[in-house]
Copies of this chain bind each other. A is one copy, B any other.
Amino acid sequence: MTKYVYKFAEGNKDQKDLLGGKGANLAEMTNLGLPVPPGFTITTQACRHYLDHGTMPDGLDAEIETNLGELEREMGRDLGQPDDPLLVSVRSGARFSMPGMMETVLNIGLNDESVEGLASQGGDERFAWDSYRRLVQMFGKTVQDIDGDLFEEAIDRVKAEKGITDDLDLDAGDFRALVERFKAIVHEQTGHPFPTDPREQMRQAVRAVFQSWDAPRAVLYRRQERIPTDLGTAVNVCSMVFGNLGMDSGTGVAFTRDPASGRQGVYGDYLQNAQGEDVVAGIRNTVPLTDLADIDAKSYDELMAIMETLENHYRDLCDIEFTIERGKLWMLQTRVGKRTAAAAFRIADQLADQGMIAIDEALQRVNGDQLAQLMFPRFDEKAAAGDQFHRLGRGMNASPGAAVGKAVFDSSTAIEWARNGEKVILCRRETNPDDLEGMISAEGILTSRGGKTSHAAVVARGMGKTCVCGAEELDIDTKNRRMVTSGGETVGEGEVVSIDGTTGEVFLGEVPVVDSPVVRYFENEIDPASDEADDLVRAVDRLMRQGDDARRLHVRANADTPEDAARARRMGAQGIGLCRTEHMFLGDRRQLVERLILAETTEERDGALDALLPHQRADFNGIFSSMDGLPVTVRLLDPPLHEFLPDITELSVRVAVAEARGESDANDTRMLEAVQRLHEQNPMLGLRGVRLGLAVPGLFTMQVRAIAQAAAERIREGGRPHPEIMIPLVGTVQELEIIREDALRVLREVGEENGVELDFPVGTMIELPRAALTAGQIAESAEFFSFGTNDLTQTAWGFSRDDVEASFFSAYLEKGVFGVSPFESLDVDGVGRLVRIAVEEGRAARPEMQFGVCGEHGGDPTSVHFFHETGLDYVSCSPFRVPVARLEAGRAAARTGN
């Protein structure tokens, strides 16, 4: 016979699957000998049976009855016993905490008779009737699904009649009247009288908890949180203890360490003469937990001892709920407590110091998201909350951090002002590749359109630069160099604004910024052994070193300039995994690129390429210098050529309007023809990447020559360049083969011209589903694979990041279609499967193949674990995310033991 009911003493903390989180921890505390009110847990298995079959499993009722009987014997009174009732609470408790579910029904066992017994036993009639009305109210609301407002309105009516505002001013008679009224509401709403049989009350409550698993709110919550749908919930039946039996009673919460700072000490709150729900309702103010030492020294000492026991036992910060009933301390719940990022690092470090956990375990207690949070500068919270700074609006927290500067509305002003030493915030409706230099010059970026994966957001995150995007309350008026708030307020060019990339808030004026000491540590500005380093920096340093020792994955950075490369190296990057060359085609090179695109003869085209060559060579030389001795993966040109030309609609309008005015411009007209010729319906799926290399003779050849010449220069200068040549957007091995042969020829030629050996690997991005699916073939011509998980996500899902984020991602997240955007965290089932296929089959075809990832997922904690497990050699991410990837790569290796 399956056992469906466990007494608290029969379980333990590792049985969360069967008993739920709450039940497992109640069992653990019971077995530790802590004062837990007796009770029992009905398993998740019983719930699953009920949900599958619509009926309670055979034997469950009898088991409940047996356990309830034992509880009654232990407590010396029966459930609802008229002269001295045993009362119980019924609480849901699933494997994972689920706020969307029914929580609690208290005081089960009360009815018109037992309420009198409770009153006489406790000597407090008001308490007894208050307890009774709480039962009817909770039962009606959560078990019987009655609109809670009906009960609240009844209470308000009584208070209005009496001319009072505080529940505490209601007396026993008032509660007695309210019980009658509440019972009438139940009868009206359900067509049945309120159930007065205590066992029936309990049965209905248990059934309601089971059913709550499938309530729409719970279903949606699980969808969003990716909690499996078939776990079911456990039900905890626990004898009631009361914190509201007078001033020698009370209820409180406690933490074994400060969950905000992580520092040791006594943290928590206590409320005399109250039940837990009163604390939540916030009717009266709590006192600090330390005050309990004065109020009830015995209970306080006992609690302190229990907290020590729990922390030693759980070897972590514990979060506790307790009640004191007439001087007797009872533990109602415990769990490993939530904490801030700083607390997580400090606690892990302290516990390791105290020998409570091994240092490997400490590494598992922190994560990359927490580290990332610690790395951003922040606004001084008190200042921002004060009156001196006016909040202009709020957008999406696209790239965290705090930035202050003068508002500018175009990139050239941003660049100019920044050159003159001004700090600026670049404010645009949305950004495009032309804004790149402006974005580099700015302290932060603010846009009124676009989501978290808009160009502004993506590029800003890539730079580790603060960005608030999609602040729709702000009408950014580029033409008039100003923005107007929804309230009609105007902010002009040069006015100082402050943007908070962590919260999405935008303020007028200069909000004070607090620097991140963790970044200063990574930038080698703080020595962790020095006095300047606080305990947080020391904890970060210790755990980073631990992670670096453990990790197998190398971490590289995506960087396109010598400056970014140098920064990435300081952050611990072991090379560049993605050096994009398209940025080298912008700015003052644009003219040369236009010459290339507009070339009508082979000579014109070759001339344009020859003119570009020295620029590219100089770019590469700079990057190879910054990364001397480390690999630099250079991606040949990827975007479609028309990205370097004006927008077709804007230009068409300009030409047509000029024509209409008789002021045609021959250059514009000629440009328009080129733009029309190159226009594509779906440029992302058009002539780009390797296709461009095959369609525009000489383009990739020029790029490879620039790489080869720069490397030869470096070698002659005594450097150790390690370029890796990467071909983008390959779909079939034939494409790669043709380009690769040409690249090897150029390397050979330049090597011979310079008398040096240029034996650099040529590989490909795997960023199309077909490339992953034919990886075994492609491996024959590729010395490395680098997964471009951004494009792989776009093509596997068939959506363009630029287009879909704004139009339906928010709806998808709300409806639970996604738990998280697949652009933020790798979609393991779909895109991840392609990665696995390519690794397995690529390795089978070429055992020495090197595998990396250079999509943004390379810096995402969850994704890093996946890449580790899949057996990649490195991840590459933006410089700012390098420490995050290092930490997570270390955690992944330490956890799996390889």
| A binding-site residues for B, Cβ under 8 Å | 223, 648-649, 652-653, 656-657, 660-661, 680-687, 691, 694-695, 729, 731-732, 734-735, 738, 767-770, 773-774, 777, 791, 794-800, 802-804, 807-808, 811-812, 815-818, 827, 829-831, 833-834
* In-complex Cβ contact of A657 among B657, B795, B812 (8 A): B657
A811 and B731 CA atoms in complex are apart in Å by 15
A811 and B687 CA atoms in complex are apart in Å by 12
* In-complex Cβ contact of A796 among B656, B691, B768 (8 A): B768
* In-complex Cβ contact of A799 among B685, B791, B834 (8 A): B685
A613 and B657 CA atoms in complex are apart in Å by 42
A694 and B684 CA atoms in complex are apart in Å by 24
A426 and B767 CA atoms in complex are apart in Å by 41
The residue on B at minimum CB distance from A830 is B770
The residue on B at minimum CB distance from A684 is B682
Pairs of residues from A and B, 10 with the lowest C-beta to C-beta distance, nearest first = A770-B830, A685-B800, A682-B800, A769-B769, A686-B803, A768-B798, A680-B803, A653-B656, A682-B682, A734-B817
Residues on B with C-beta less than 8 A from A768 are 796-798
Across the interface, do B691 and A804 meet the contact criterion of CB distance under 8 Å? yes
Residues on B with C-beta less than 8 A from A802 are 681-682
Across the interface, do A685 and B812 meet the contact criterion of CB distance under 8 Å? no
Q: How many copies make up the complex? A: 2
Across the interface, do A815 and B694 meet the contact criterion of CB distance under 8 Å? yes
Across the interface, do A694 and B812 meet the contact criterion of CB distance under 8 Å? yes
Least Cβ distance of A832 to chain B in Å? 9
Residues on B with C-beta less than 8 A from A734 are 223, 815-818
Residues on B with C-beta less than 8 A from A808 are 687, 691, 694-695
A767 and B768 CA atoms in complex are apart in Å by 15
A773 and B834 CA atoms in complex are apart in Å by 8
Interface CB pairs A-B, < 8 A, 12? A223-B734, A648-B649, A660-B660, A682-B684, A684-B798, A731-B798, A731-B830, A734-B817, A770-B796, A791-B798, A795-B795, A795-B796
If A657-B657, A682-B682, A738-B817 touch, whether A773 touches B800 (CB-CB below 8 Å) is no
Residues on B with C-beta less than 8 A from A800 are 680-682, 685-686
Residues on B with C-beta less than 8 A from A681 are 683-684, 800, 802-803
Across the interface, do B682 and A683 meet the contact criterion of CB distance under 8 Å? yes
If A769-B834, A798-B731 touch, whether A804 touches B685 (CB-CB below 8 Å) is yes
Across the interface, do A833 and B682 meet the contact criterion of CB distance under 8 Å? no
Residues on B with C-beta less than 8 A from A833 are 773-774
Across the interface, do B656 and A830 meet the contact criterion of CB distance under 8 Å? no
Q: Which of A660, A767, A794 has the most CB of B within 10 A?
A: A660
A833 and B830 CA atoms in complex are apart in Å by 14
Residues on B with C-beta less than 8 A from A798 are 684-685, 729, 731, 767-770, 791, 795
Least Cβ distance of A88 to chain B in Å? 38
Residues on B with C-beta less than 8 A from A694 are 808, 811-812, 815, 817
Least Cβ distance of A642 to chain B in Å? 11
